[in-house]
Amino acid sequence: GEDVEQSLFLSVREGDSSVINCTYTDSSSTYLYWYKQEPGAGLQLLTYIFSNMDMKQDQRLTVLLNKKDKHLSLRIADTQTGDSAIYFCAESMIDYKLSFGAGTTVTVRA
């Protein structure tokens, strides 16, 4: 079965980089995703990476994938107060179901 793990909390100073880590167990994962959830809202798709890639960059976001170690990370450069949210990593298999981690609550302090 699928199992996705993340640390629960991250505190970062405004302007610094944030790195959120995730591990997954299913080696047949096809795509891996990062979602952001702001208070009282649904999940917003931030970015995704295909399992045969090792890096993807999109403006302030960098996704790194180490398929051998089944480790995924999301780096947010120049973290802003608007980046405070819960971040979920998710993996999908061939049938497009998504399996989510418990979420990392990121708090940005001034």
Residues that bind another protein (CB under 8 A): 4, 8, 30-31, 33, 35, 40-45, 48, 50, 88, 92, 95-103
Number of other residues whose CB lies within 10 A of the CB of residue 4? 22
Indicate the residue among 84 and 92 with the shorter CB distance to another protein. 92
Q: How far is the CB of 41 from another protein (least distance, A)?
A: 6
Indicate the residue among 29 and 79 with the shorter CB distance to another protein. 29
Handedness of CA 39, 10, 7, 74 (dihedral sign): positive
Cβ distance 22 to 99 under 8 Å?
no
Q: How far is the CB of 87 from another protein (least distance, A)?
A: 11
Q: How far is the CB of 10 from another protein (least distance, A)?
A: 15
> Residue 41: what are its φ and ψ, rounded to 5°?
-120, 170
CA gap 36, 107 in Å, rounded: 13
- ∠ CA 44-76-87 to the nearest 5 degrees? 35
Q: How far is the CB of 33 from another protein (least distance, A)?
A: 5
Indicate the residue among 13 and 45 with the shorter CB distance to another protein. 45
